[in-house]
Chain A
Amino acid sequence: MNCHPIEIENLFHSYGKRELYHSLSLTIPKGKVYALLGKNGVGKTSLIQILMGFMRPNGGECRVFGDPAHTIRPKTRERVGLLFERHLAYDFFTIEQAEKFTRSFYKNWKSDLYYGLVDKLGLPYSHRIANMSEGQRSQIVLGLILAQDPELLILDDYSMGLDAGYRRLFIDYLCENLKDGEHTVVITSHVIQDMQNFVDELVFMRKDKPALVTSLDTFMEEFTCYTIVFKNNEGDIRKRLSHMNSEIVVNTEWHKDYVQLFFYASSDIILKELQKLDLHDFSVQKSYMDIEDAFIGYTGRY
């Protein structure tokens, strides 16, 4: 039976009184790259922990290739490459020892992928992982995961501790090896702009709000920002904005002289809404957003 790499149904989970997921449902089909996005503490890493069976949820079901998440069979785990937060590795190993140890567990092991990536570091194979920088270690861990030739890759905050060069190297290597429609990737990161050319689908997780699942293209097309410059008329503009339809306004960010309104709707609806506000005496401009602006606009600055 062909099962989706990941299926989440009505997931409930809470830490004490703080509810993390309320009936979260999500299906991740084969061949897609999904980004789990959200501010710190919304439950991205917890979701990965649950999916990989390191934590039991309070309710609902999570399945990985059809296996319940907390009882994933070894055979299924072989199909999943997992990058833990902070590029967790057994750092007492040398480059060579890490490969020798890991390869014994995977029948489709591809040493050339590992050494291809490791060679870029220009380090001797006898170099210990403990003596590497965070960036170098990230390449070792990525090499070990890619060499497993997994069908599903789960990368939890791959960008943590990496400078721009290593982040680019990481993403480029993922693009070259995984964007083939055969591999499914779930990725979380706080550095959103790196993902623009890599991800297909976005999952926005927000505190106390349902998750939004959308394609990157649709999101960038329909998520819009308008800037209204008010200078000394803040009170007036606040009054007018209070009459706005809150269903289409996702977020409002107030600055010293201007306010940014973030809408998630088609442009016709947004323009009608703006007309209702009668803003002809203010400067109103549609603002260009890159993916990071859009992410912050959607989830809020704080």
Chain B
Amino acid sequence: MNMFSLSKPGHALRRSSVLSSIFYKESIKTFPMALGLFFLNTCFMIWNFVVLRQLFILDHSEVVWYRVMNLGQIPYQDLMFIPLMSAIAFCLFQFLEEMRDARIRISLHLPCDSSSIVLFHAFFGLVFLSLLFSFDIIALLVMLRYYFPSEICFSAFVTTLPWFLAGLFAYLGGTFVLLEPQIKRKSLGVVITFIICLELLSFHSTAYYENIIYVYFILLPCMFYSIAVSADDYRNRWA
């Protein structure tokens, strides 16, 4: 497989132009879904703030602090599945459109390396989801900082990071599964994605992943490049 194989010097500029063209197309295609997800995530964070505020109204601050800092309760636990659901929704919206009547062939026929084209599509999704998740994280941290000390904010950041990572893995796994034509590889993709997401979303304790989270950051590029394999399989499938 020849990933990013635009090797001639004259093609260096071309790659950035291809990337910007794919981003142009994807931004138009996914705009309604992107807008919807930002809206829903904003609504959820506002609701989360209201719930948090209610905790302090119903109980004394000392009691809430005790629960959070000593008992390890997390007042933002409802956030856990939001990144996963957002990522799956975005992945389906972005790639089902391409798979409808095999429209992706239009992109694959463009005069560029096929793997790069598909990877640029996935990269767009990753960029969007990273922005969405950054918004969620910032909103969460601002909200928590309003009521708690910075240590709790840091702990919340480390606790929620695996949830957001699960979203990114679900997006990449979903993309792989949608593009891959071979049933065996498709199934393998489902299983691997499921196991990774399950592990990341199994709540152990606050900041449980603090020391091992880097392993998942190493896995993420591997998952990303596996999409190039599915693109290659798609092009060279047997009828």
Contact = CB atoms under 8 A, between A and B. Distances in A.
Given A92-B28, A105-B111, A56 B106 contact: no
A104 B111 CA distance: 10
Contacts of A89: 106
A93 B28 contact: yes
Interface residues of B, number: 26
A254 interface: no
A227 interface: no
Contact of A54 (B101, B105, B112): B105
Interface stretch (B16-24, B50-58, B68-76, B147-155): B16-24
B141 to A, nearest CB: 35
A84 to B, nearest CB: 6
B103 interface: yes
Interface in B181-239: 235-239
A90 interface: yes
A104 B112 CA distance: 11
- If over half of B's interface residues share one DSSP class (helix, strand or loop), that class is named, otherwise mixed; here it is helix
A302 interface: no
Contacts of A93: 25, 28
Given A74-B113, A92-B29, A53 B106 contact: no
Contacts of A292: none
Interface string A94-121: 0001001100111000000000000000
Contacts of B102: 54, 88
Contacts of A52: 105, 109
Interface string B88-124: 0000000001000111011011111100000000000
A167 interface: no
Nearest to A148: B111
A53 B235 contact: yes
Contact of B111 (A13, A78, A88, A92): A78
A211 interface: no
A185 interface: no
Given A70-B235, A105-B18, A77 B28 contact: no
Nearest to B113: A74
Interface string A71-83: 0001101101010
Interface residues of A, number: 30
Given A84-B106, A88-B101, A55 B237 contact: yes
Interface in A233-266: none
A74 B111 contact: yes
Given A15-B239, A55-B237, A84 B105 contact: yes
A97 B28 contact: yes
Interface in A5-58: 13, 15, 46, 49, 52-56, 58
B101 A86 contact: yes
Nearest to B234: A54
A90 B239 contact: no
Contacts of A15: 239
Contact of B239 (A55, A70, A84, A88): A55
22 contacts: A13-B239, A15-B239, A52-B105, A54-B102, A54-B235, A55-B237, A55-B238, A56-B238, A74-B111, A75-B111, A78-B111, A80-B109, A88-B106, A90-B29, A92-B29, A92-B97, A93-B25, A93-B28, A101-B25, A104-B18, A104-B20, A105-B18
7 tightest CB-CB pairs across the interface, nearest first?
A: A78-B111, A74-B111, A104-B21, A77-B111, A105-B110, A92-B29, A74-B112
